[in-house]
């Protein structure tokens, strides 16, 4: 079941974390982190990448402080990594997932 949540930052922006099925279709889940001005813009950024059915209902799985730090220090503000496979796996830029 896809889940997610958000954290509002002191400057007014938000970090949204979503767990969604892998776009590659291999049956695993991927955790996406998006930094944006508000929740709607964060979801729009994912929808513009081709993840059409992206919705945030509730705040069941908000981003951890480590996840917030990772996305804030990345120039794109949009990261992903496979969920629950290897907890030591590093975050990847979105370009690495959306390659043909």
- The alpha carbon dihedral of 11, 65, 90, 6 has a sign of negative
State residue 16 phi and psi, 5-degree precision.
-110, 135
Global confidence as pTM: 0.86
Four-point Cα dihedral 44, 46, 52, 53, nearest 10: -90
Average pLDDT for runs of 10 along the chain of length 100:
85 92 78 93 89 84 92 90 74 72
> Given phi > 0 = left and psi -120 to 50 = alpha, else beta, which region is 23?
alpha
């Amino acid at each position: 079941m896809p889940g997610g949540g958000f954290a509002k930052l002191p400057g007014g922006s938000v970090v949204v974390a979503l767990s969604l099925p892998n776009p590659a279709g291999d049956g695993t889940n991927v955790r996406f982190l998006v930094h944006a001005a508000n929740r709607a813009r964060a979801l729009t950024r994912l929808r513009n990448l081709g993840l059409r059915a992206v919705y945030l209902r509730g705040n069941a799985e908000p981003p951890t402080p480590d996840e917030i730090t990772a996305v804030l220090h990345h120039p794109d503000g949009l990261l992903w990594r496979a969920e629950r496979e290897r907890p030591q796996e590093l975050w990847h830029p979105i370009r690495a997932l959306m390659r043909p």
